[in-house]
Structure 1
Amino acid sequence: MKSIPVIENRWPNQIWNGTRQLVDVPPIHLASLVPAGARAVVVAPHPGDEVIASGGLLQVLAHHGHPLQLISVTDGSASHPGSELWSERRLSVFRPQESAEALRRLGLPLHSLKWIRGGFTDNALAAREHQLSQFISRYLRHDDVVFSTWCEDGPPDHEAVGRATAKAAAQVGARHFELPVGVWHRALRDEYQIPWPRARKLRLDTWTVARKRHAAHAYASQLQGDPKIGLAPALSAVLLERLRQPYEIILM
């Protein structure tokens, strides 16, 4: 399937739309990632990360009948620090509703989906990495295939979740793969930081990509910043544009 064209001069030059390395990433079939009948577990630092990182993968897994478990480490209520418009109290109610709507838009089987909420504090996961690893391990089985954000992704919470999940998976004997998220929006000069030999490309069809982007738009709070305090939206236009790419990148 051909890539959806991007207007080159509209977006800042970043790894996702500038590097030629992406073209050469070899494809991988779902069966090579998750054996038939195996459960897939996705560990997300914040609500919405499961869609941005793996919204296409989740759809493919559900389509092939794999049991799914999501672990949302934080509730995302500290996404707008200092904002009166999006206070932590408001977000603590709003963001779970956004997540439920996003998963519905992905077409996931909500009646059978196991969804764990960790309740850890945003922007403080590195300090509680040991506890986080213990928490995650309680919900893993030895025959699970576990996906998390990459341990060198950039945002500290993403990296802490990647490290903690790797430790938890190793402890129970589960397979663990990583999903780059924040790194794609670094300057093109940083492309060497990605371990390209580990990268594999899970291709997505047009409708899967469309549902992923539709699900991302369920996070209304993240599509808005707070101009009053100069806070930009977490889900920027350039990030949403990246979601048009017809594949997920997985680090083996």
Structure 2
Amino acid sequence: MTTFQAQDPGTPLAQWQASAQLQAVPAISLEQLLPIGCRLVVVAPHPDDEILGCGGLLAMLHGREPALLLVSVSDGEASHPHSQQWSQERLREQRPRESAAALRRLGLDLGQLQWLRLGLADTTVAQHERWLAEHLVGLLRPQDRVLTTWRLDGHSDHDAVGRACARACETVGAQLLEVPIWAWHWARPNDPRLPWPRAHKLFLDPGVRVLKQQAIAAHTSQLLADGDTPAVLLPTTLVRLLQPFELVFT
């Protein structure tokens, strides 16, 4: 369960752009974030989180796909709990297909990267957090950079996956990288709850931003209203995630 209402407009982009804290966040390069020889392990609670949180970074890895491991923790089947159109069975098939299409739109060769689907039940990851952490320990290497959702992002699955990754990284000696997704919605500009001292901006050139936007558009189940039920990803949500940079907590 989320601790906020995703259908509310949330904090406007203009307020974030006026944030002194956000303006002061230093830049980080791809080479600093992911040095040559290091593998990037992206652990996504739901299909689309890898695109929303770090689609630009993934697009930059075109040609480096063998150094990428994508772990999908759930299939995102609980995104439409009251829908007549999107049953859990249909979403369990549809959302991974959307993720594959999105990754291709980023320019990635899916035959060259490793992609694991763990199949944990959507919205119940916290109940399996210890198992997830132990499973990740078996996958990770000390030189890995492990990117996942921030541990205080505000969605129970995002938070649990972040905690499990943190525990696994501490055990293995890998470096943890966290990205906010829903925090852009509920947090305030200059919000002291955000770990500003650990924040860095990975700037995206215009071509990469276009690829990320096209990849997000592949997630049709999340973008279309269902009768009286609004879309999961509203335009107000997307503009915050399509800024000229991706925010990474190192």
Alignment TM-score, normalising by the size of structure 2: 0.90
8 Å CA contact 1:71–1:116 kept in 2: the answer is yes
* Segments of 4+ moved more than 4 angstroms: 63-66
Equivalent position of 1:41 in the other structure: 41
Residue 18 to residue 83, structure 1, CA distance change in 2 (3 Å): farther
SS in 1 for 2:61: helix
**Which structure 1 residue ranges, 5 or more long, are not aligned?**
1-9
Change (3 A) 1:66 1:18: farther
Q: What secondary structure, in the 3-state scheme, does the structure 2 residue paired with 1:50 have?
A: helix
Bigger drift between 76-85 and 208-217 goes to: 76-85
Is residue 186 from structure 1 mapped to residue 186 from structure 2 by the alignment?
yes
Q: Which residue of 1 aligns with 2:146?
A: 146
- Separation in structure 1 between the aligned mates of residue 159 and residue 10 of structure 2, nearest angstrom: 26
CA contact (8 A) 1:45 1:74 kept: yes
Taking structure 1 as the reference length, the TM-score comes to: 0.89
Between the aligned partners of 1:233 and 1:17, the Cα distance in structure 2 is 25
Aligned-residue offset at 1:158: 0.5
1:13 aligns with 2:12: yes
Cα pair distance change 1:16/1:156, threshold 3 Å: farther
After superposition, give the CA deviation of every residue in 1:96-117 in whole Å (9 maximum; x if it has no partner): 1111100000111211111010
Gaps of 5+ in 2: 1-8
Number of matched pairs: 241
Aligned to 1:236: 234
Tell me if structure 2 keeps the 8 A contact 1:212–1:243.
Answer: no
Cα gap change, 1:83 to 1:21, in 2 (>3 Å)? same
Tell me the secondary structure at the aligned position of residue 99 of structure 1: helix
Summarize deviations over 1:65-97 as a string: whole Å, max 9, x none. 661110000001111012121001111111111
Structure 1 residue aligned with 2:204: 204
Is 1:251 the equivalent of 2:246?
A: no
CA contact under 8 A between 2:77 and 2:88: conserved in structure 1? yes
| Cα distance between partner residues in 1 of 2:190 and 2:152 | 12
Provide the C-alpha distance between the structure 2 equivalents of 1:160 and 1:185, rounded to a whole number of angstroms: 19
How far residue 226 of structure 1 moved from its aligned partner, in angstroms, is: 2.5
Is this contact kept in 2: 1:18–1:188, CA < 8 A?
Answer: no
Q: Deviations over 1:211-245 (max 9, x none)?
A: 001100100000023234xx321111112222331
Q: Secondary structure at the match of 1:238?
A: helix
Aligned-pair RMSD on alpha carbons? 1.9
**1:119 offset after TM fit, Å?**
0.1
Give the C-alpha shift of residue 170 in structure 1. 1.5
- SS across alignment from 2:214: helix
Structure-2 residue corresponding to 1:4: none
The amino acid of 2:235's aligned partner reads: A
